[in-house]
């Protein structure tokens, strides 16, 4: 017997497998989709079995071991991986590796196992009852009475349990314990209101495979998701529910947990390897029927999927930002098709592409225009900061200050969004005007007050803070702009008695810290929560009646054709946090661009109105949905060589795709990261097949070129 193995190494021949001989002792264990250990040159590598045969060549090497007891990739996932590898122009083995949770990597095999716990149970109820009646030992009585109710872990019982074991009244046994613990939150299932029932029925009865559920924030989309999943479960099928970044939206998990109880597995990046291993095993062992998770949960090895729901479908976290750069939404379409399951895309602010497709009838469109529990959408005021600056109000406008004061008096809560972490934005020399940059990247450093360090948010470089300008050597470096830390500090200066919480990457690195902050704010232990984008999504705080956006222009100024769309999304999402219960909400948006359509239109909560503006611009500039976009990023340590190689690639592409628009090579949006120079080529195209084939060809052609590293990003999140 021989097997074809895809080894975990990037080879210049894309997706090439190697044939190995299977010694007799392993023959029984071999099946497609399992992993094996194989000798490869001088190394021992892990690989996936993709074929079984009977190759008679004489010089084949033997496999060393079979890693998995059960196939870890089923037939569907094996084929799916091949398609994704083509579509994203990436190595097949990297796609398969992305499909598996981290704890499943063979290198971790020795450390990760099921966790077992010793449990105690009573042997015979009657004997125990007799014993309780006769014994004088209070401690023994206590143990037995506890055990009469339920079996318990040994370590939770008092020491008299050993006596009881030796008397034969109780005994030990081993039980597998799942590591992930979630809070027990009561969520009362709401009876769907008329609009929700209507939406639910439209979804169930639609003849479309993909349906866009466009509902304003708080319209009760999550309740509809739960009803849809109930229905799917009643048909004996399984459900996948994706959320943008689950560690930021623990409230959704709580709601799902309390409704679906043990039926659910949770997968996201904030879990420990052990927790993730356990949750994944629940799926493989068919102990659960629902998985709620972030991007990679789309690969959950279910075999009978009835529905795939993607909440906040506009979120850019569904696209992986490193190789393989797959989109979980595209993967959902493929899996939906395979299982004949509906895919639901939910959002208050769908991507322009999704909305356009639903308008064209490629997707079904279901809309919810009102909030569910009779809450009204908040009033949004836009404040022109150019006028405020003249009055000396740099950070907080008059209106925002008055509103904060008012909420503090009323004991209501405040959310402040500032889309920049750290203390200041950048460091500029007041003497020579130069801006302090990272020595390894073409990016400005950010000052962090808590640690008194200047940090690069790209490569992690950090240096002690100093006021000496590296250019003119005078003592004139000053902090310009502001980040979350500074906003918090200024707020406390203005309102000394205010209690604040801050949520950004710096305050949430510790496991469970997101949740702590959210719970603390929920329990009204603080008046104001200050944060980056993290606070904008999915949170439901009934006491929040004021949302302030300190500076709405941060995204707007990025060189990205989606900058208006992202600005509109963020403003709508964060506005959606205000006035979610019976208290009316107000939103104050501070901006230097009050006339920009994305900012102006965030006032009315009318997505369609915004869409109509945006789509005109997309058409005029031949951007998606009118074209597809591919980004080719060429990086190299030598500046000149990198330009030369980039030009060669550009010329080759131009020759091959005469009909499409090819831009560049030009200097990357960040021209240097970690001492590597970057150039970019952009293709705006309509002929998908032609361009994807060409890029796969270029991948193979450039793989052996040691001077440069070429990366491909189909439909990039930003450029
Ligand atoms: P979305 O997911 O659209 O933002 P949610 O499902 O989170 O909306 O609902 C918003 C709020 O309205 C939540 O507090 C939820 O409990 C409440 N809600 C949703 N549906 C109903 C309903 N039918 N009756 C009463 N309250 C509801
Ligand atoms: Zn750097």
Three-state SS annotation for 592-619: CCCCCHHHHHHHCCCHHHHHHHHHHHHH
CA 288 to chain centre: 22
Instruction: Tell whether omega for the bond before 659 is within 30 degrees of 0, i.e. cis.
Output: no
What pLDDT is recorded for position 111?
47
CA 6 to chain centre: 28
377 lines ligand 1 (CB under 6 A): no
d(CA 423, CA 187): 38
What pLDDT is recorded for position 183?
64
255 lines ligand 1 (CB under 6 A): no
Q: Whose CA is nearest to atom 4 of ligand 1?
A: 218
What pLDDT is recorded for position 459?
78
Residue 394: is its pLDDT beyond 60? Answer: yes
Q: Which of 308, 287, 294, 167 is nearest to 225 (CA)?
A: 308
Comparing 247-256, 578-587, 661-670, the range with the smallest average pLDDT is 247-256
222 lines ligand 1 (CB under 6 A): yes
Considering the chain, what percentage of its residues have pLDDT values greater than 90? 57
Comparing 291-300, 388-397, 439-448, 625-634, the range with the smallest average pLDDT is 439-448
Residue 108: is its pLDDT beyond 50? Answer: no
Question: Between residues 467 and 396, which one has the greater pLDDT?
Answer: 396
CA-to-CA dists, residue 45 to 8, 18, 191, angstroms? 7, 12, 54
What pLDDT is recorded for position 187?
66
Q: Whose CA is nearest to atom 20 of ligand 1?
A: 220
Considering every ligand atom shown, identify the ligand nearest to the alpha carbon of residue 255 and give its number. 1
The mean pLDDT value of the chain amounts to 89
Q: Atom of ligand 1 at shortest distance to CA of 542? A: 14
Write out the two tokens for 552.
């709405």
What number is the average pLDDT over the span 32-36?
Answer: 94
Residue 584: is its pLDDT beyond 80? Answer: yes
What kind of fold does domain 379-423+482-618 have according to CATH?
Rossmann fold (3.40.50)
Write out the two tokens for 697.
């060809």
What number is the average pLDDT over the span 642-664?
Answer: 93
Give the tens place of pLDDT for each residue, 9-28: 765 556 789 999 999 999 99
d(CA 625, CA 614): 11
Task: Work out whether strand 586-591 and strand 544-549 pair parallel, antiparallel, or are unpaired.
Answer: parallel
Q: Left if phi > 0, otherwise alpha if psi is -120 to 50, otherwise beta: which for 511?
A: beta
Q: How confident is the model at residue 634 (pLDDT cuts 50, 70, 90)?
A: very high
Q: Which of 230, 227, 223, 221 is nearest to 289 (CA)?
A: 230
CA-to-CA dists, residue 684 to 7, 623, 632, 664, 666, angstroms? 34, 7, 12, 12, 15
What pLDDT is recorded for position 423?
67
508 lines ligand 1 (CB under 6 A): no
591 lines ligand 1 (CB under 6 A): no
Please report which helix (H) or strand (E) contains residue 75, including its range. helix 75-88
For helices 138-149 and 125-134, what crossing angle results, to 10°? 150
What pLDDT is recorded for position 175?
80
What kind of fold does domain 2-99 have according to CATH?
GIY-YIG endonuclease (3.40.1440)
Question: Between residues 334 and 173, which one has the greater pLDDT?
Answer: 334
Residues 718/661, Cβ–Cβ less than 8 Å:
no
355, HSE (Cβ side, Cα atoms, 13 Å)? 19
Instruction: Tell whether omega for the bond before 517 is within 30 degrees of 0, i.e. cis.
Output: no
Where b means 16+ CB within 10 Å and e means fewer, 399-437 reads bbbebbeebbeeebbbbbbbbbbbbbbbbbbeeeeeebb
Residue 201: is its pLDDT beyond 80? Answer: yes
219 lines ligand 1 (CB under 6 A): yes
Q: How confident is the model at residue 33 (pLDDT cuts 50, 70, 90)?
A: very high
21 strand-pairing partners: 2, 62
pTM for the structure as a whole: 0.86
Residue 478: is its pLDDT beyond 90? Answer: no
Q: Atom of ligand 1 at shortest distance to CA of 222? A: 6
Contacts of 575 (CB under 8 A, 6+ apart): 217, 377, 378, 380, 547, 587, 602, 605
To the question of domain 194-368 being in CATH 3.40.50.300, the answer is: yes
What number is the average pLDDT over the span 566-583?
Answer: 90
Question: Between residues 178 and 299, which one has the greater pLDDT?
Answer: 299
What number is the average pLDDT over the span 173-199?
Answer: 80
What number is the average pLDDT over the span 308-332?
Answer: 95
What kind of fold does domain 628-714 have according to CATH?
Alpha-Beta Plaits (3.30.70)
Q: Cα(458) to centroid of ligand 2, in Å?
A: 5
425 lines ligand 1 (CB under 6 A): no
Q: Cα(219) to centroid of ligand 1, in Å?
A: 6
Q: Which of 482, 537, 525, 483 is nearest to 501 (CA)?
A: 525
Helices (H) and strands (E) in the chain, counts: 21, 30
Q: Which of 44, 41, 47 is nearest to 3 (CA)?
A: 47
Residue 332: is its pLDDT beyond 60? Answer: yes
Q: How confident is the model at residue 113 (pLDDT cuts 50, 70, 90)?
A: low
Q: How confident is the model at residue 488 (pLDDT cuts 50, 70, 90)?
A: very high
């Amino acid at each position: 017997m021989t097997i074809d193995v895809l080894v975990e190494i990037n080879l210049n021949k894309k997706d090439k497998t190697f044939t190995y001989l299977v010694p007799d002792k392993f023959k029984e264990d071999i099946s497609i989709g399992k992993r094996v250990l194989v000798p490869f040159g001088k190394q021992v590598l892990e690989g996936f079995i993709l074929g079984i045969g009977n190759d008679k060549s004489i010089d084949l090497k033997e496999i060393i071991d079979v890693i998995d007891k059960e196939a870890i990739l089923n037939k569907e996932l094996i084929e799916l991986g091949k398609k994704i590898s083509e579509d994203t122009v990436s190595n097949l083995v990297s796609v398969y590796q992305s499909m598996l949770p981290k704890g499943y990597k063979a290198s971790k095999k020795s450390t990760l196992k099921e966790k077992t716990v010793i449990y105690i149970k009573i042997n015979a109820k009657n004997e125990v009852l007799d014993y309780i009646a006769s014994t004088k030992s209070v401690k023994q009585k206590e143990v037995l009475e506890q055990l009469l109710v339920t079996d318990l872990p040994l370590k939770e019982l008092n020491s008299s349990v050993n006596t009881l074991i030796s008397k034969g009244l109780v005994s030990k046994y081993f039980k597998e314990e799942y590591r992930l613990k979630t809070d027990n939150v009561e969520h009362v299932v709401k009876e769907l209101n008329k609009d929700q029932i209507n939406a639910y029925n439209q979804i169930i009865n639609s003849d479309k495979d993909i349906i866009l559920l466009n509902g304003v924030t708080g319209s009760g989309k999550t309740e509809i998701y739960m009803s849809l999943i109930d229905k799917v479960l009643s048909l004996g099928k399984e459900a996948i529910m994706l959320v943008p970044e689950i560690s930021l939206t623990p409230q959704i998990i709580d709601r799902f947990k309390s409704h679906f109880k043990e039926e659910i597995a949770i997968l996201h990046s904030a879990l420990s390897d052990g927790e993730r291993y356990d949750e994944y095993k629940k799926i493989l062992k068919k102990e659960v029927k629902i998985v709620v998770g972030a991007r990679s949960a789309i690969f959950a090895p279910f075999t009978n999927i009835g529905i795939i729901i993607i909440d906040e479908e506009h979120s850019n976290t569904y696209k992986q930002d490193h190789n393989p750069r797959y989109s979980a939404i595209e993967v959902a379409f493929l899996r939906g098709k395979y299982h004949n399951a509906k895919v639901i895309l939910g959002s208050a602010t769908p991507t322009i592409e999704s909305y356009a497709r639903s308008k064209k009838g490629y997707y079904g469109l279901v809309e919810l225009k009102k909030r569910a529990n009779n809450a009204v959408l908040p009033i949004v005021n836009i404040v022109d900061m150019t006028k405020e600056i003249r009055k000396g109000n740099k950070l907080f406008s008059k209106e925002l200050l008055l509103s904060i004061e008012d909420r503090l008096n009323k004991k209501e809560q405040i959310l402040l969004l500032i889309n920049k972490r750290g203390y200041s934005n950048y460091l500029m020399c007041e003497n020579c005007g130069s801006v302090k940059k990272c020595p390894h990247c073409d990016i400005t450093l950010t000052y962090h007050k808590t640690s008194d360090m200047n940090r690069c948010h790209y490569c992690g470089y950090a240096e002690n803070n100093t006021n000496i300008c590296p250019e003119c050597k005078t003592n004139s470096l000053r902090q310009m702009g502001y980040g979350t830390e500074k906003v918090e500090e200024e707020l406390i200066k203005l309102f000394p008695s205010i209690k604040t919480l801050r949520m950004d990457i710096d305050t949430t690195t510790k496991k469970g810290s997101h949740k702590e902050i959210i719970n603390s704010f929920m329990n009204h232990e603080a008046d104001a929560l200050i944060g980056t984008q993290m606070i904008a999504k999915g949170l439901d705080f009934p006491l929040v009646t004021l949302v302030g956006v300190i500076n709405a222009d941060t995204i707007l100024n990025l060189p990205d054709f989606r900058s208006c769309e992202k600005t509109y999304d963020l403003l709508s999402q964060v506005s959606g946090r205000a006035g979610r219960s019976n208290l009316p909400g107000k939103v104050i948006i501070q901006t230097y661009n009050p006339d920009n359509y994305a900012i102006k239109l965030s006032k009315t909560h009318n997505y369609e109105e915004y869409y109509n503006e945006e789509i005109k611009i997309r058409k005029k500039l031949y951007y998606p949905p009118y074209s597809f976009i591919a980004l080719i990023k060429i990086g190299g340590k030598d500046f000149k060589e990198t330009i030369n190689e980039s030009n060669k690639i550009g010329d080759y592409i131009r020759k091959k795709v005469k009909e499409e628009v090819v831009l560049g090579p030009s200097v990357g949006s960040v021209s240097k990261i970690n001492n590597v120079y970057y150039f970019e080529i952009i293709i705006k195209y309509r002929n998908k097949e032609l361009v994807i084939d060409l890029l796969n060809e270029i991948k193979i052609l450039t793989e052996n070129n040691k001077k440069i590293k070429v990366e491909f990003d189909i439909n990039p999140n930003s450029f």
